[in-house]
Structure 1
Amino acid sequence: MSNAVWFVLIGALLIVMGLRSPFVQRLRLTPATVYLAIGIVLGPTVIGAFHFNPLKQAHLLEVLAEVAVLLSLFIAGMKMPVPVSWRHWRVPVRLAFVSMTISVVLTAAFAYYVLDLPLGAAILLGGILAPTDPVLASDVQVRHMGDEDPLRFTLTSEAGMNDGTAFPFIMLGLALLSAPPSFELVGLWVLKDVLWSTAVALTIGVVMGHVLARIVRKQRLLSDQGPLLDDFLGLGLIGLVYGVCLLLEAWGFLAVFAAAIALRQSELQLAGIRAPTENVEREPGDSEPVDEPLRQHSPPVSEGALLFKEPLERLSELVLVLLLGGMLFLNSWSVRAVGLALFLFVVVRPVSVLLGLLGSGAPFRLQMLVGWFGVRGIGSMYYLMFAVVFGLPQELASEFIHITLIVIVLSIVIHGLTVKPMMSRWWS
């Protein structure tokens, strides 16, 4: 398609979604479902007006997905409604670390024994498909500062963390593809990719978020030169944190999420505003509270950064899901891909959640819903492109692309069609 047609298509789509079309509202479709349907119709599956080749455009797709995930993680971190304490964060932390590991193991076992993939490739595929997505799961994410719904908080904070905790398994899978398993390889992986990269990422994120909050507050108190550029401050923090982590070989996704949380919590503390602390304990069906003091005295950088970044996040979702539709062919729908997707949704996600939350005290109803809403999306696309650019053999790369695309498409459709009815029942 020509550039003019693309401008017309995207412009019209933005207007339709911006007006919240009654037709789309009646069908109770998520935005991602609409974008995907249009992409499939225009792509090689139906009309063939355009085709996006992920193998030839791997570098571009990696960067687009990387930016989308970074924006989404920062936004999610800004909206976290509770201070960081084990009592409030025990469930999402266990999901992001324990359930994530179980999910990788179960997916890798299926890939190794059923799909007959090599061990390294099986672990790599498990790492690609295990993390839940912060971009496409907007309907089950925290919606605004002060949103205290326990299900939304759990899913948002889990997605914010597990995009970082999946990276060690990506690196382990890639390492095993080039070298046989050994104690030395596993030991180096644990020290470097698990302990060092995770600890450094969390430290960098927390420190830089807190430092920026202090710098901004001091400048506001000492200077009367007018408002600061909050959007630049937010983007600058993302770039600085992520860049430093890349230089130190730490997990930048985890660091950006931690930086956003630290920035907002530090601003609340410095402004003398107490954040709500009862969200996780609230029962479903209770009226959704509104934190009036927080609404009236929102931290300037946090609020200004959100106003600028949320439209960017929605635009990146539109572009990437349209491109996703343009990557699909009819022969992409193999038994291997569909079988793994169904195994992931019906077995891996519920089992990993239930095992990961054993003894956590989380309500069973919450565990069941969290076990269903394991949305896969742009995060998996990024990890896939990272592996391709890293040097994944072409035969494996082609199969992984087909499998990952089908998993994402089925997740958009299945979770997209069930999210609104199930969320309505959650609040009933």
Structure 2
Amino acid sequence: MTFALWSILIGVLLIVMALASTALPRLPLSTAMLYLAVGVAVSPVGLGWARFGPLTHTVLLERLTEVVVLVSLFTAGLKLSHGLKDRRWLLPLRLATLSMLVTVGCIALVAWGLLGLPPGAAILLGGMLAPTDPVLASDVQVQAPDDRDQLRFALTGEGGLNDGTAFPFVMLGLGLLGLHELGELGWRWVAVDLLWAAAAGLGIGAGLGFVTGRLVLYLRREHEEAVGMDDFIAMGLIGLAYGTAVLAHAYGFLAVFAAGVALRHLVQQQSSSPEESRSAVEQAVAVPDRTAAQSIAVDPKHAPAYMAHAVLGFNEQVERIGEVAAVVVIGALLWAVQWGQVPWWFVALLLLGIRPLSVRIGLAGSGISGSRRRLTAWFGIRGIGSLYYLMYAVNHGLPADLAGQLTAITLAVVVTSIVVHGISVTPLMAAYERRTVRTR
């Protein structure tokens, strides 16, 4: 397929999605379902424009999914405007730790006992499939900085955190397969992969997000400088946090999420009247006058809100473009999967059994309502993050026979999640919003 044909395809797809952006939220389908269909259409199953498999371009797939997840994690962090002392943080923390542990354990037991996988591969599969996806979950995430909905906050925070908290189990699985150093009696895994990498990732990301935000606000408030390049701030902070964390042997995913949270938290600290600032920023950006936007960007009172608004707006656009690329690629890979060998009962067990069980255990005693707990259990969306972990394992020497088996299972889970959650998200969230309004 020539570059010109790819350009036409992507251009038409983006224009169609822009024109249909107001109609799609009313339909029982998601944008990811349409992107997936486009990917299948250009594969050998359809037009034959793209012919590549999941195990032939693994480095490219790892980098693509890595970048898309990073942008989404930073966006998720920026959306979470509640203070760090807010009790709402307990829900995503419990989901990303206790529920994560239960999910990995259940998947590993089933994979070892019923699928016949060796212990290392079983734990590796658990680490790949346990995290929920921040990229494909935009319809159930926090919609605006002032959104205080408990369900949306829990799902947004979980998606931001557990892409990082899954990494220790991926490394444990690779170690048991002889592809990663665990240390005698596992000391290196505990000290480095579990404790240091998680804590350092969060600390590095939070520190860089806070320092960068303070520097930008200082230059704008005191010197009326550093204005007009907020997209560079977003991309620069993502790259800085991720690269620094990786060089420090910490988890870059957690660092990028923490950088987004820290930047949002700084904005809250620096804003004397958040409601007034948000209103002023919205009015300024609604007017096609660059002078008005620049004026409010350096205003001592409203500069924090303007920076957060501009950075989040840019990141959301990049995130949508990344979603298009990643999901179209997933659709284009499906022709190469041996679907007859996929244990579909395992896919159903994960989404309908293991996920609800892990949420019930993780949120036990939290006081969350039954309806919110059930929706939290259902919207455990799997997607781009699972594909990244799969490619990461393959590129670290996963044997070919295991790579083929884990690839088929992972893509089956991801595709099923895209379809079933895409069909159900509109009616279920609409019913939830109506019930929430009546309760208020």
Q: Is this a same-fold pair by TM over 0.5? A: yes
Instruction: State yes or no: 1:422 paired with 2:428.
Output: yes
Distance 1:59 1:179 in 2: 17
1:191-243: CA deviations, max 9, x gaps?
11111111111111111111112111211122134624111111111111111
Instruction: State yes or no: 1:352 paired with 2:336.
Output: no
Q: CA deviation at 1:121?
A: 0.3
Partner of 1:341: 347
Amino acid at match of 1:140: V
1:129–1:404 Cα contact (<8 Å) kept:
yes
Q: Is the partner of 2:177 in helix, strand or coil?
A: helix
Partner of 1:283: none
Instruction: State yes or no: 1:165 paired with 2:165.
Output: yes
2:58–2:395 Cα contact (<8 Å) kept:
yes
Inter-CA distance 226–97: structure 2 relative to 1 (3 Å threshold): closer
Q: CA deviation at 1:250?
A: 0.5
1:230–1:300 Cα contact (<8 Å) kept:
no
Partner of 1:61: 61
Partner of 2:404: 398
Of 257-266 and 184-193, more deviation after overlay is shown by: 184-193
Instruction: State yes or no: 1:227 paired with 2:227.
Output: yes
1:43–1:50 Cα contact (<8 Å) kept:
yes
Q: After superposition, where does 1:274-423 map in structure 2 within 5 Å?
A: 293-296=277-280, 297=302, 299-329=305-335, 332-334=338-340, 336-423=342-429
Q: Percentage identity across aligned positions?
A: 47
Q: Is the partner of 2:334 in helix, strand or coil?
A: coil
1:25-54: CA deviations, max 9, x gaps?
664321000111121122233443322222
Q: Is the partner of 1:28 in helix, strand or coil?
A: coil
1:75-105: CA deviations, max 9, x gaps?
1111113111262211110000000010000
Q: CA deviation at 1:336?
A: 3.4
Q: CA deviation at 1:114?
A: 0.9
Distance 1:41 1:180 in 2: 38
Unaligned runs of 5+ in 2: 281-301, 435-440
TM-score w.r.t. the length of structure 1 is: 0.91
Q: After superposition, where does 1:172-191 map in structure 2 within 5 Å?
A: 172-178=172-178, 184-191=184-191
Distance 2:87 2:340 in 1: 44
Distance 1:181 1:209 in 2: 31
Of 37-46 and 89-98, more deviation after overlay is shown by: 37-46
2:27–2:426 Cα contact (<8 Å) kept:
no
Inter-CA distance 129–31: structure 2 relative to 1 (3 Å threshold): same
Distance 2:23 2:265 in 1: 40
Distance 1:323 1:200 in 2: 33
1:332–1:406 Cα contact (<8 Å) kept:
no
1:44–1:328 Cα contact (<8 Å) kept:
no
Q: CA deviation at 1:293?
A: 4.7
2:77–2:257 Cα contact (<8 Å) kept:
yes
2:172–2:182 Cα contact (<8 Å) kept:
no
Partner of 1:72: 72
Distance 1:309 1:292 in 2: 23
Q: What's the C-alpha RMSD, in Å, of the aligned pairs? A: 2.1
Inter-CA distance 200–138: structure 2 relative to 1 (3 Å threshold): same
- The alignment covers a number of residue pairs equal to 412
Q: After superposition, where does 1:201-212 map in structure 2 within 5 Å?
A: 201-212=201-212
Q: Is the partner of 1:134 in helix, strand or coil?
A: coil
Distance 2:364 2:22 in 1: 43
Inter-CA distance 295–337: structure 2 relative to 1 (3 Å threshold): farther
Distance 1:159 1:257 in 2: 10
Inter-CA distance 411–210: structure 2 relative to 1 (3 Å threshold): same
Distance 1:335 1:396 in 2: 13
Unaligned runs of 5+ in 1: 275-290
Distance 2:107 2:247 in 1: 31
Q: CA deviation at 1:182?
A: 9.0
Of 386-395 and 111-120, more deviation after overlay is shown by: 386-395
Partner of 1:282: none
